A and B are shown apart, each in its own frame.
Chain A
Amino acid sequence: DQQVKQNSPSLSVQEGRISILNCDYTNSMFDYFLWYKKYPAEGPTFLISISSIKDKNEDGRFTVFLNKSAKHLSLHIVPSQPGDSAVYFCAASLTGTASKLTFGTGTRLQVTL
């Protein structure tokens, strides 16, 4: 069973526009959520995180929103740049620990010129 779901396998956005990547989860006990970014032939790298006690966290062009009642989080990238083209993984953690990270299947973002 996929406890963390990314239902859109791919997304194409024009440069300068907003990219919105979505993630749904089923386990209400998750207390930290993270986004990782992965370029081809590289390992995933940490992008941004949010605690379950918050509903928004912002870091430059990247903002993560959390809707606990809907068990939904989203990553907004504004403005989108060609260098943002990558696979984005949503991950959720029990107890906020690295040993209990559950990842989604990823969404491939393509930012076009």
Chain B
Amino acid sequence: DAGVIQSPRHEVTEMGQEVTLRCKPISGHNSLFWYRQTMMRGLELLIYFNNNVPIDDSGMPEDRFSAKMPNASFSTLKIQPSEPRDSAVYFCASSPGQGAFVGSGNTIYFGEGSWLTVV
């Protein structure tokens, strides 16, 4: 089975430009997460969708960030306008159900990440 698929894998853009990151979750998973990885803060949850509905977006840093999930197999994370401090690795992850119970060995499955550099 295909895992979580993210695109682009690498993106270099100029400050002020719009950036769109894409994610295809694992088929049948109905929870989707966007994370950002930085050296200082590790993996931070930006937003969490369940059944295509945003449940918790408290981690979205500011209004320049927005995320959508128009259907069960696709999500986007958009940054407009981008700034150098947005440079990071952005991970999309999915899990089988709302608040999938992690203790039983179920877990969230990460994509390979999108490396964003804003110059």
Contact = CB atoms under 8 A, between A and B. Distances in A.
B102 A32 contact: yes
A103 B44 contact: yes
A96 interface: yes
Given A34-B102, A93-B103, A97-B101, 5 more contacts: A2-B42, A34-B107, A42-B113, A45-B110, A98-B31
B105 interface: yes
A41 B103 contact: no
Contacts of A104: 42
B42 A49 contact: no
Given A43-B112, A44-B110, A100 B99 contact: yes
A99 B43 contact: no
Given A34-B107, A41-B112, A42-B112, A98 B44 contact: no
A63 interface: no
B41 A99 contact: no
A101 interface: yes
B4 to A, nearest CB: 7
Q: How large is the interface on A (under 10, 10 to 19, 20 to 34, 35 or more residues)?
A: 20 to 34
B34 interface: no
Interface stretch (B48-56, B61-69, B80-88): B48-56
B31 A99 contact: yes
Contacts of A46: 105, 107-108
B93 A43 contact: yes
B40 A43 contact: no
B57 to A, nearest CB: 12
B50 A99 contact: yes
A97 B104 CA distance: 10
A101 B103 contact: no
A93 B107 CA distance: 11
Contacts of A95: 99
Contacts of A6: 42
A43 B108 CA distance: 11
A25 interface: no
A17 to B, nearest CB: 26
